[in-house]
């Protein structure tokens, strides 16, 4: 049943993106994608934060699985967004990186959440890893507005415009659906990994 729901979401996402096909053909497609991609990354960050706090309150490992899944998906989408942005920059001016305020802020935020994953990899014990990760996702999330504001001041000419046209919003919805799909798949994998880990400990104990 759950699989069928996931497939449905995937199909809907493709349909929505196909709806934009005409516009994609007309103008540089990167422009249609890179802001929605960043938008999905933002949603992923919020999800990770809420999941982390929920873990700290309930100690339910499903929330931890959600937190890591959302962060990984968010990082992937943000990386894609930054790459799209690079292509757009190249198309517009010839350089691959122009220190555009939005792209720079996106890169810093990407690094921020990459440290979250590094921290997770470095802590072996699962409960401690989940607790530390939850704490760190709070730190990272609070930094995002500070990063955006500071970089906006640093490069005041460029500014932090996020133009949301209807087609971009549609893409946002479609990409959010794809993101949700990937998050659920990743969560399943995380739960399987946890079960394996506990089985391994049981065999060692015997």
Partner 1 sequence: MSAVAVDGVWKFYGDYPALRDIRLEAAPGTCLALIGRNGAGKTTLLRIIAGFSRPGRGHIRIFGGEPRDTETRRKMGFIGHGISVYDELSALENLTLYGKLYGLTDPARSAREWLERTGLARVANGLVREFSRGMRQRLAVARAFLHEPEVLLLDEPFTALDDKAIAVLQRLLREALASGKTVVMSTHQLREALELASHVALLARGQVAFHGPCTPEMVADPGYVYARYGEG
Partner 2 sequence: MRFFRQVWVVTVKDLRAELRTKEAINSSLAFALVILLMFSFAFDPLADTTREISGGLLWIVFAFAGTLVLNRSFARELPNDCLDGLIAAPISGSALFLGKACANFLLVMAVQLVSLPVFGVFYSVPWTKQFPELLLVLVLGTWGLTVVGTVSSALTVNIRLRELMLPMLTYPIMFPALLGAMELTADLVTGSPIGADKAGFLKMMIGFDVIYTAVSLLLVETILVG
Rounded to whole angstroms, the Cα distance separating 50 from 58 reads 12
Neighbouring residues of 159: CB distance < 8 A, sequence distance ≥ 6: 101, 152
Going 181 to 38 to 131 to 196, the CA torsion angle's sign is positive
| Binding track over 90-129 against partner 2, x by CB under 8 A | ------------------x--xx-xx--xx--xx---xx-
**Which residue number, 34 or 63, has a Cβ lying nearer to partner 1?**
63
| Binding track over 27-66 against partner 2, x by CB under 8 A | -----------------------------x----------
**Which residue number, 137 or 171, has a Cβ lying nearer to partner 2?**
137
Residue of 61, 193, 51, 79 whose CA lies nearest to 136: 51
Residues 122-181 within binding reach of partner 2 (CB under 8 A):
122-123, 127-128, 131-132, 134-136, 138-140, 142-143, 146-147, 149-151, 153-154, 156
Rounded to whole angstroms, the Cα distance separating 7 from 199 reads 31
Helices (H) and strands (E) in the chain, counts: 7, 0
Rounded to whole angstroms, the Cα distance separating 158 from 156 reads 6
CB of 67 to partner 2, least distance (A): 14
Rounded to whole angstroms, the Cα distance separating 58 from 101 reads 39
Residues that bind partner 1 in the complex, under the rule CB under 8 A? 59, 61, 125-127, 194-195, 197-198, 201-202, 205
Residues that bind partner 2 in the complex, under the rule CB under 8 A? 56, 108, 111-112, 114-115, 118-119, 122-123, 127-128, 131-132, 134-136, 138-140, 142-143, 146-147, 149-151, 153-154, 156
């Amino acid at each position: 049943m759950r699989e069928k729901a996931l497939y449905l979401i995937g199909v809907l996402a493709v349909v929505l993106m196909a709806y934009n096909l005409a516009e994609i053909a007309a103008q540089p497609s990167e422009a249609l994608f890179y802001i929605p991609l960043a938008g999905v990354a933002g949603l992923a960050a919020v999800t990770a934060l809420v999941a982390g706090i929920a873990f700290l309150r309930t100690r339910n490992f499903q929330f931890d699985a959600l937190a890591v899944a959302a962060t990984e998906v968010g990082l992937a989408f943000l990386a894609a967004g930054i790459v799209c942005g690079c292509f757009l920059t190249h198309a517009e001016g010839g350089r691959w990186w122009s220190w555009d305020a939005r792209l720079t802020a996106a890169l810093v935020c990407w690094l921020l959440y990459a440290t979250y994953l590094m921290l997770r990899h470095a802590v072996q014990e699962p409960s401690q890893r989940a607790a530390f990760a939850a704490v760190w996702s709070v730190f990272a999330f609070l930094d995002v507005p500070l990063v955006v504001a500071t970089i906006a001041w640093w490069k005041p000419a460029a500014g932090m415009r996020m133009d949301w046209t209807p087609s971009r919003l549609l893409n946002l919805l479609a990409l959010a659906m794809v993101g949700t799909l990937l998050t659920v798949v990743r969560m399943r994998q995380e739960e399987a990994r946890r079960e394996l880990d506990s089985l391994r400990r049981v065999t060692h104990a015997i």
